[in-house]
Amino acid sequence: MLTLTKPKTKEIPYIKRAMMSANPSARELFLIMEEKKSNLALAIDLQSKQDILKTVKELAPHIAVLKTHIDMVNDFDIHLLLELQDMAKRGRFLIFEDRKFADTGHIVARQYEQGMYKIANWAHLVSAHPIAGPGVVEKLRKAGLDLGRGLLLVSEMGTPGSLEDDLTMKKTVHIAKDYRDFVIGFIGKRRISEEPAFIHFAAGVDIKEAHVHSGLRTLTPKQAIQDLQNDVIVVGRGILEAQDRKKEAELYRTAGWQAYEARLKI
């Protein structure tokens, strides 16, 4: 288990960190979070185009990021992507396709640029496992950098028995630093780098007490943002399974933002 990294200096606000990033999508995300007072990423793990579009339309005011698994959609078509792009532009959020690329550089470049989904054309952010080495990042960078895209490296899975350790996390940070114009940060459970330009996404956040749900270790917004020093909370079922999704999304947005403001005062 990685020891929590404590910042050496006073926490820097999102608005100032935006100017420290070399990546346009990272800068835009910092600005969106500051503007909307939201560090909430909605994991839209639904399988119907109609359900996705209806939910995004309702919750767009509350979110900074929409996290997709586009290959889960049963009735996928190009119109879904066009509508999501339009909603993202009007609703001021970024689209994050959580693809978790993990193959040879040649293969991941094709998966990113080509095939049915052509992810590079519409996703502001994607994710990749660093286990395959820097070649994966290099190929994704070549495909996405000129489009202004950004990459998150998977630093830690929330599933029991996952194989990350201190050494793999340190190597992940080294890869990120070598490609800092394209790698915008990490998705995991805790901050692993003190560099303010890197954005940390906390996956598996639940506003109730931390617990294990469907094999996933959850964090509360306070734990994720204030205690473990992440920047973005990723919430899926906690909102999607609520009776009033709009009300629940606002609860998460408020909780995440309050935790961020509390961290600034430390």
- The band of 212, judged by pLDDT with boundaries at 50, 70 and 90, is low
Residue 214 has pLDDT above 70, yes or no: no
Predicted pLDDT at 8: 46
Q: Is 237 annotated as a binding residue?
A: yes
Q: Is 236 annotated as a binding residue?
A: yes
* Mean pLDDT of the 167-191 span: 94
Find out if CATH 3.20.20.70 is the number for domain 14-264: yes
Predicted pLDDT at 7: 45
Q: What confidence tens digit (pLDDT) does each residue in 100-140 have?
A: 999 999 999 999 999 999 999 999 999 999 988 999 999 99
Residue 165 has pLDDT above 70, yes or no: no
Predicted pLDDT at 4: 44
Predicted pLDDT at 139: 96
* Mean pLDDT of the 141-155 span: 97
Query: Which residue ranges make up each domain of the chain?
Result: 14-264
Alpha carbons within 13 A on the beta-carbon side of 224: 35
Predicted pLDDT at 208: 83
Report the alpha-carbon distance of residue 159 to residue 38 in Å, rounded: 26
Q: Is 238 annotated as a binding residue?
A: no
User: Which residues are the active-site residues?
Assistant: 98, 100, 103
pTM: 0.93
Exposure string of 216-230, with b = 16+ CB inside 10 Å and e = fewer, is bbbbbbbbbbbebbb
Q: What confidence tens digit (pLDDT) does each residue in 233-264 have?
A: 999 999 999 999 999 999 999 999 999 999 99
* Mean pLDDT of the 137-153 span: 97
Residue bearing the bigger pLDDT, 210 or 237: 237
Q: What confidence tens digit (pLDDT) does each residue in 3-18 have?
A: 444 444 578 999 999 9
Report the alpha-carbon distance of residue 44 to residue 61 in Å, rounded: 15
Q: Is 188 annotated as a binding residue?
A: no
Spatial contact of 137 and 182, defined as CB atoms under 8 Å apart: yes
